[in-house]
Amino acid sequence: MDRIVRNFEKKPWRTCSHAACLFILSCLLPTFLKAQAPDQVPELERPVPILTGNAGFFTNINGGETELVPSINPVILLPLGDRWLVESRGEFKGEFERRDGSGPYGGKVEQEVDYLQVDYIANKYVTVTAGRFLTPFGIYNERLYPIWIRSLQPTPLIFPLGTGSSDGAMLRGGFSINPKVNLNYATYFSTLSTMNKFESDRTAGGRVGFFLPGPRIEAGFSWQKELQDERSNAFGFHFAWQPTPLPLNLRSEYARSHDGSGYWIEAAYRLSQVPFWQKALRRTEVVGRAQQLFAGQISLADAAEYGLPDVNTRQGDFGLNYYIREGLKMAASYSRRFNSDGNVNLWTVGIAYRFAFPLGRVGPQ
Amino acid sequence: MKVKIAILMAVLALVSLVCAADPARKSENASLAVPVAQSSAEADAMRVHGEQRYRANCGRCHAAPQKFPPRMMATIVRHMRVRATITDEDMRLVLFYMTQ
C-alpha cells in the first residue's frame, strides 16, 4: 500500500490511468462473458469464424524496370455472440527486381498488420471499434484497397494522404435519415505508436457520408488533425455513383494535407450490355482514371517512405479486367505519368484471387 | 497524459451507457439474426428488397460475390456492416436475400 501511495505521489496520472483501466476491464468483462453465452439465433444461422482474404501475383514495369509483386492478404473474422466481431488483416507483399538490371530477381517481403480490431455493435446507430484499424479517410483505404476489389492495380497518387492504419478507438455507424437518404459516419482517435508492425501517428479525425440508395450516389467529407509534429490538418471529399441502368461505376476522391493535395476520377464499365461476344464481354471491364497530385511540403525521404511523388505529377491510367469466375480475375493496366522528373510508362499485368473458408461447421448450403 | 485519462473516461462513460442499456436490448438481439418472414408473400417481398439493398450497398465497391452457407454469410455481413457502415435494416435484408 505504501508503494502505491508513493507512486501516486510521484506519478498520480499513471496510477489513475491504471485504476481506470482495471475498472473499465471489470465493466467490460460481464459484457464479454455474456457474448459467449448461447443466444437465440438458430444453430444453422449462427456466424462462424472465417479465414478470407486475397492473393495475387502481378508484374509491374515502371519506366522500363520490371518488378514482380506476389502478395497475400489473409483476413480473419471471429464473431463472438451476436454483437462482437474480432477482425484482422495482414499483408505479405514481395517486391522483387533484378539487381543492376540483370541476374536473378531479389528483394524484400513486406509484412504489415493492416488492422487488428474488436468491434462491438452497440445498437443500430453505433459500433465501437478498438485496436488497430484502417484510418477512415475517404473511401479507398477502407473499401477499395484489396486487390480483388480495386479496378486498377496501381493505387491513386493521393492514396498515402491521410490514410494508413491507426491505433486507438473509433465510433462508427450508418443509419437511414429517411427512406431516400442514409447517413454514415466514423470518428476516431489514434495514439502515437512506434511498436514494430503497429506504427501509428497521434491523430484524431473522422468522416461523414451520405448515400442515396435510389440513384446510388454517395458523397462525403473526411478530416484529420495531426496531434504531433507540425500538428497539421488534412481534409478530403469523396463521390461515387453507380447509375442504375448502366454497369458503370464512377468514383472520385480529393485530398489536401501538409504533404500534398490532389484528386482522382475513375470510371469502370462492365461490357455486359454489348450485344455481341457476350460470353466473353460480360466478364470484361474497362477502366479509366485521371489523377493529379500537387506536391506539398515534404522531404525527399518522407516522400519515398510514403510512396508520394515529391514533384507535381499528372497521370492517366487505362485498365482491363477479366473476371474468370467469382473471386478470380485477370487485370492489366497502362499508365502514363507526367512530371518534371521525366515522363514514364507504367505497365501492370497479373491475377488476383479472393478466397473464403469457414473455420468451423457450416452445415448445408 | 491528461488526454489519455480523458479518453479512458470517455470509454468508461460509453461502457456505462452500454451496460445501462442492457435490459432493453432483448428485442434488438433478434434483429441481428436472419429475419423471419411470416408468409411466402412477405418472404418474396423481403427477397426483392434484399436484392435491391444488396446491389445498392455491395455493388458500390465490388462485383456480386457468390452465395455462401448461412453461417458464413452471417459473419461476412457483420464484417461488411462495420467496414462499409451499412445500415441495420439493409444488413438484415441483404442477409435474408443471401441466405433464403
> B61 and A149: CB-CB below 8 Å?
yes
Residue type, A153: Q
Mean pLDDT by 10 residues, chain A (365 residues): 45 46 47 49 81 97 93 97 95 91 87 96 95 96 95 95 94 94 97 93 96 95 93 95 93 95 96 89 96 90 87 96 92 96 95 94 73
Amino acid A304: pLDDT: 86
Q: Quick check: is B1 in a domain?
A: no
Mean pLDDT of B27-54: 75
**Which of B58, B78, B80, B90 to mutate to test binding with chain A, by most A CBs within 10 Å of its CB?**
B78
> B75 and A79: CB-CB below 8 Å?
yes
Count: domains in chain B: 1
Closest by Cβ to B75, choosing from A48, A129, A249: A48
Architecture of domain A50-358 in CATH? Beta Barrel (2.40)
Closest by Cβ to A46, choosing from B16, B64, B71: B71
**Which of B2, B16, B62, B80 to mutate to test binding with chain A, by most A CBs within 10 Å of its CB?**
B62
Is the pLDDT reported for residue B25 higher than 70? no
Amino acid B3: pLDDT: 54
Q: Quick check: is B79 in a domain?
A: yes
Count A/B contacts: CB-CB distance under 8 Å.
174
Q: Quick check: is B95 in a domain?
A: yes
**Among all chains, which residue has been given the C-alpha cell 434488438?**
B28
Domain housing B77: 34-100
Q: In angstroms, what separates the C-alpha of B52 from chain A's closest C-alpha?
A: 9
Q: Quick check: is B16 in a domain?
A: no
Q: Quick check: is B41 in a domain?
A: yes
> B33 and A41: CB-CB below 8 Å?
yes
Amino acid A45: pLDDT: 76
Domain boundaries, chain A: 1-36, 50-358
Closest by Cβ to B28, choosing from A30, A123, A249: A123
User: Is A42 strand, coil or helix?
Assistant: coil
CA distance A26 to A16: 15
Q: Which three cell numbers stand for residue A215?
A: 440513384
Q: Quick check: is B5 in a domain?
A: no
Q: In angstroms, what separates the C-alpha of B10 from chain A's closest C-alpha?
A: 11
CA distance B20 to B23: 7
Q: Is A352 on the interface with B (CB under 8 A)?
A: no
* B-proximal residues of A, 288-327, CB under 8 Å: 323, 326-327
Q: Which three cell numbers stand for residue A235?
A: 481534409
- The pTM of this model reads 0.84
By CB atoms closer than 10 A (0-12, 13-18, 19+), residue A133 is: buried
DSSP string across A275-300? SSSHHHHTTEEEEEEEEEEEE-S--H
Complex ipTM tops 0.90: no
Q: Quick check: is B92 in a domain?
A: yes
Q: Quick check: is B99 in a domain?
A: yes
DSSP state of A113: E
Amino acid A269: pLDDT: 96
